[in-house]
Amino acid sequence: MDKQLKIITVIGARPQFIKAAALSREFSKHKSINEIIIHTGQHFDKNMSDIFFEEMEIPIPKYNLAINNVGHGAMTGRMLEEIEKILLKEKADILLVFGDTNSTLAGALAAKKLHIKVAHVEAGLRSFNMSMPEEINRILTDRISDYLFCPTEVAVSNLIKEGYENIDTIIITSGDVMQDAAMYYSNKSAEKSTIIKQLNIDDFILCTIHRAENTDDPNRLKAIIEALNHINDSTPIILPLHPRTKKKIEELNIELKVKIIDPIGYFDMIELLKKCSLVVTDSGGLQKEAFFFKKNCVTIRDETEWTELIDNQLNILSKATKSEIINTISNSMTKNSNFNINLYGNGNASKNICTELLKLNK
């Protein structure tokens, strides 16, 4: 009989909860897996209540560190210290992290220094922009991980180019757990969400803007808002407004003519994705979710980690100038795209990851 595999999962940002939910569901099918979840508290959200966990069918974290609202150094350092204490107590076989947050790096560092194996889900992603804190986090996490679960072939190729074939690590093309989650929750969102009925709208563009590169540069932000206002004259835009973006717009006294709504939950976002005619965003996750729900996407960034969407012309990058944003959105509104391609594993990523980790028990 196989011994029980003890996995500690570290999460800290809302998208990581959704990714963890997909994988935790797969873990729960195996009596030989004991998963313990640590929530660092990096993105504090009052909606992260028991009700949220219950609705999303996410196991409630055993540990909540409540570390947030401090700088990168203090945040990562405190997380490293607290996660180390838990690892010494719990004596896990493997520590699992997602993506590219400070929580990701802190968890991986704490485990590696205690000689605990590290599994990195969403390994191999690269924006090739070292000014992004996320890029630093993901590169360092990849380098000290024992298992690199890559969502795409492009991610694998990035690691090969960086010499990872010569490093003592296991590289697996797993697919993307976000597609697992999207497929699973798509069946539930229509029952859970009333957002479409509330908004009473059927032809609209879904937009999100929150990245610091866009919100912290007054010229970029003004150009983006001016472009959105122009497009909104012909096609309504629904914008769940991130608090940081809202604050910057108010500071700059920019007029915003689109339909503003408060930040929304995952079920509401899925329903908006299902019904919208186009996605305009600077979010990494929403670029993929647009693909999952067969929507063209315009990404207002200079680069993206999800280059396979660009290569297949399902996502178009736009510089943050008024004219380019308007032209790119206008062209994307009328574009017929082929979404019948397998870029992210077709919903089998969690199963693939679980299968690989269970080999530790053999």
Give the DSSP letter string of 156-189: HHHHHHTTGGGSS-EEEE---HHHHHHHHHHHHH
Question: Do the beta carbons of residue 278 and residue 205 sit within 8 Å?
Answer: yes
Enumerate residues 6+ apart whose C-beta is below 8 A from 346.
175, 179
What amino acid occupies position 255?
Answer: E
What amino acid occupies position 293?
Answer: F
Q: Which residue has the tokens 């945040």?
A: 75
Q: Is 39 a catalytic residue?
A: no
Instruction: List the beta strands (DSSP E) in the chain.
Output: 5-11, 33-39, 63-64, 94-98, 117-121, 147-150, 170-173, 205-208, 237-240, 259-261, 278-281, 297-299, 315-317
Q: Which of 43, 72, 120, 210 is catalytic?
A: 210
Burial class (CB in 10 A: 0-12, 13-18, 19+), 118: buried
Residue 350: name the closest of 120, 177, 151 by CA. 177
Distance separating alpha carbons of residues 153 and 157, to the nearest angstrom: 6
Q: Which two tokens stand for residue 251?
A: 């500071």
The CA dihedral of 195, 200, 202, 206, to the nearest 10 degrees, is -50
What amino acid occupies position 254?
Answer: I
Catalytic residue annotation: 210
